[in-house]
Amino acid sequence: MRQLVLPRSYEGAPVLELKGKESHYLTKVLRLKKGQQILGRDTEGHMILLTLTEITANGCVLSCRQVDSTMQVQTTDTLPSYQGPYPNLVLLQCLCKGKKEEQIFRQATEIGAATLALVSSRYCVTDLSDKKEKAVQARFERLDAQIKEALQQSGSPIPTHLVPEVLELKDVPTWWADRGLAMFFHQSTRSEKQETLTSLLKGHPLQVPVCVLIGPEGGFSDEECSFLEQSGFHPVLLKTNILRSETAGLYALSAIQVLLTEA
C-alpha cells in the first residue's frame, strides 16, 4: 500500500481514531507499532502523515500532520515519482456487467481520473431501474471499494469521486453543465463529422475538465448521437478497431492524459 485513504468524515483534525477494518489493517496486517508512521490521503487529496499513538481494545488512535508528497515513510511503499499536475478527467460509463464496471473504475482510478459515473442509455444490456434499491446500493458499495483500493495501491494524489447515482443519458448534458470539453466515441458512417483526440485537445488548459462518455456494448442509437451532438458533446472517431466497453474507456483516458500532460 502506498497510502491510506482517510474516512470521508476526516476534516483535518490533529487526531484520528480508526475502528474496524481500517484499524485491523494497520495494526494486524501492517503490524504498525506505537510511534510508527504511515502516509494517508484525505478526500481533498491532501497528504497526511499519520503516527500511531495508541492501540485500543477495538481500534487505534493516530496523530495527523499535513505534509507534502516528497515525504517517505518506511511502512508505506514508495510513492510514484510523478506527482502531477494531472488533467481533470471525467469518465461517464454506460452500464455494463458489474464485474466489468468494477474493472473499468478501478483502472480509471489508478490512472488518476477525478470523477466517475454510471450512465443508462438505450442499448445498455444491464438495466438497474427494476432492481431493488438495496441491490443498486450494493453495486455502488462494490465500486467504492474498488476505487478506494486503487487509490491506496497506486498512490494517486487525485481523490477520485464516484457519482452516487445512475445518470440517465438524457440528463447527462444538464449534469455536465458545460464544465469543459465533452466527447463521446462512435464507430459509425458519420465519420465526416468526427474529430480526433489530438485536434480536440490542442491548446486545452490542463485544469479544465475533459469528459469522456463511453457507450454500452451495443453502442449509441442514432437519436442518442444526434442528441449528444446538439448538447455540445463532440463525436470522436478513434483510429483503432471496435473496442469493448472495458477497453474503450481506458484507451481514451490514457491517450488524453498523455496528450495533456506531455503537451
Q: How many C-beta neighbours within 10 Å does residue 245 have?
A: 21
Least separation in angstroms between CB 1 and a copy of itself: 11
Binding flag, residue 29, a copy of itself (CB under 8 A): no
Amino acid in the structure at residue 238: L
Nearer to a copy of itself, 18 or 151 (CB): 151
How far is it, in rounded angstroms, from Cα 213 to Cα 249?
8
The reply to whether 74 sits near a copy of itself by the rule CB under 8 A is: no
User: Cell numbers 456487467 label which residue?
Assistant: 97
**237 is a contact residue toward a copy of itself (CB under 8 A):** yes
Asked whether position 130 contacts a copy of itself by CB under 8 A, the answer is no
Give the per-residue contact string, 141-160, with a copy of itself (x = CB under 8 A; - = no). ------------xxxxx---
Verify binding: residue 124, a copy of itself, rule CB under 8 A.
no
Residue 171 neighbours by CB under 8 Å, 6+ apart: none
Residues 66 and 25: their CA atoms lie apart, in Å, by 22
Q: Is 193 a binder of a copy of itself (CB under 8 A)?
A: no
Among 36, 63, 69, 187, binds a copy of itself (CB under 8 A): 187
Residue 155's Cβ-count burial label (10 Å; 0-12, 13-18, 19+) is buried
Stretch that binds a copy of itself, among 11-19, 37-45, 115-123, 237-245 (CB under 8 A): 237-245
Residue in the structure block whose three cell numbers are 466517475: 116
Give the binding-site size for a copy of itself (rule: CB under 8 A): 44
Question: Which of 44/54 has CB closer to a copy of itself?
Answer: 44
* Under rule CB under 8 A, residue 214 binds a copy of itself: no
Does 240 help bind a copy of itself (rule: CB under 8 A)?
yes
Q: Is-contact 23 59, C-beta < 8 A?
A: yes
C-alpha 261, offset from chain centre? 18
Residues 6 or more apart in contact with residue 98 via CB below 8 angstroms: 126, 139, 142
Q: Interface residues with a copy of itself (CB under 8 A)?
A: 2, 79-82, 86, 107, 110-112, 153-157, 187-189, 191, 196-199, 237-244, 246-247, 250-252, 254-255, 257-259, 261-263
